[in-house]
Amino acid sequence: METLNYRFENGTHRLTAPPEVVGVVGSGNLEVLIEPASLDGACSIEITTAAVGFGQIWEAVMRDFQQRWLLADTRISINDMGATPAVVSLRLDQAVQTMLGDAP
Amino acid sequence: MSRPVSYQEATARERLHHLFNAGSFEEFLPPSERVTSPHLPQLNAPVAFDDGVAIGRALLGGVPVYVAAQEGAFMGGAVGEVHGAKLVGLLRKAVADKVAAVVLLVESGGVRLHEANAGLIAVSEVMRALLDARDAGVAVVVLVGGSNGAFGGMGIVTRCANVVIMSEEGRLAMSGPEVIETANGVEEFDSRDRALVWRTTGGKHRYLLGDCQRIVADDVAAFRVAAQEAVASLAGGDTALSLEALEAEQKMLSDRLNNYGALHDPIDIWTAMQMPDAANIPMLDADSFVAAAASHRHGG
């Protein structure tokens, strides 16, 4: 197991809906818990993952995600069981869209 | 008409969303509370923020019920300490709040072996809480239609309920096929023989033998209608486990052993039950099957 933490400053997009969870902690999948939090305008992401040694890839995927959404005052917590970067990105977008009420 | 939603393929939360009145599910101990297993991190295993079960209250066709949905994709829906405590707490709260019914969306391989004794104790507490709830007049309805089935301790919990509703794809048994094969050899039970596995543990066999009361298609809407009818049929009635019911169950099981104990394949049993065209039963859709089974099945 490995725990990774990222914090992105200066977001502009605040979410106000109650916390939401999307996805399931199962093989090749993950759950994303997204919730509003007072973080001085930052977006914090904590990842607990079963796959060790992929920190650089996680950082790239998280940076890419934050560039898409520019989240502010948002806490994201992830329990991962070996999801691929594409699945991670999809789940993160799904989490934000669920908060916005426009999930498919 | 919207397209049917497969109960089997849905996640626990999708089932809650589609089965109950839209937006009515109010979760107790939601994922944001982060009540997770204390054991899994010690074993270097990932946790889930809901420990694999969502519990709460919801409206079933407008009727307030308490509900629990196990997530089969997280460790096979297995019951650990926290997972079990959530089920127990839900059942006890249902008694305290005098709720008419509890609907359990069971999908579980049984005890979470990682949590060994804590999981075993949890399952026994769930059984006790379920029977206490029935005794207090709270009807318990179990739905089994997930790909992980209802096995081990949760198989027993399922059979403790007032009404069990299954799809053919749902499975109900004590030991799973792999467990039986490992313990007694492939000659006893070939767990890779999918057709054999489904006709032995699947909903149709359970329905014919009287182990479940309703069988429906793999469609969330069909499960919803059946659950609504089950809750309505139990409303205001006697939900407690009675001596008469236990004696009837004992007789049913003794008869089963006497009549079919020497038979090795469910098709042989269905033939002995004089089911027409027994070998073709796995091919029937839910409605045709129910019609064919009407005058042959055991139990009520």
Rounded Cα gap, residues A4 and B263, in angstroms? 56
Q: CB-based burial of residue B192 (10 Å sphere; 0-12 exposed, 13-18 middle, 19+ buried)?
A: exposed
**ipTM for the whole complex:** 0.93
Contacts of A79 in chain B (CB under 8 A): 46-49
The minimum CA-CA distance between A60 and chain B, rounded to whole Å, is: 22
How many CB pairs below 8 Å do chains A and B form together? 49
Instruction: Give the residue among B278, B272, B141 at the shortest CA–CA distance from B216.
Output: B141
What is the DSSP track for B40-98? TGGGT----TTTTEEEEEEEETTEEEEEEEE-TTTGGG-B-HHHHHHHHHHHHHHHHTT
A26 → closest Cβ in B13, B47, B73 = B73
B121 interfacial to chain A (CB closer than 8 Å):
no
What is the value of pTM for the model shown? 0.96
Q: What is the pLDDT along chain B (300 residues), one digit of tens a residue?
A: 578 999 999 999 999 999 999 999 999 999 999 999 999 999 999 999 999 999 999 999 999 999 999 999 999 999 999 999 999 999 999 999 999 999 999 999 999 999 989 999 999 999 999 999 999 999 999 999 999 999 999 999 999 999 999 999 999 999 999 999 999 999 999 999 999 999 999 999 999 999 999 999 999 999 999 999 999 999 999 999 999 999 999 999 999 999 999 999 999 999 999 999 999 999 999 999 999 999 999 986
Q: Name residues 63-92 of chain A within 8 A of B (Cβ).
A: 77, 79-81
Contacts of A33 in chain B (CB under 8 A): 31-32, 49
B31 interfacial to chain A (CB closer than 8 Å):
yes
Which uninterrupted H or E stretch holds B143?
A: strand B139-144
**Helix A55-69 vs helix A85-100: crossing angle, to nearest 10:** 30
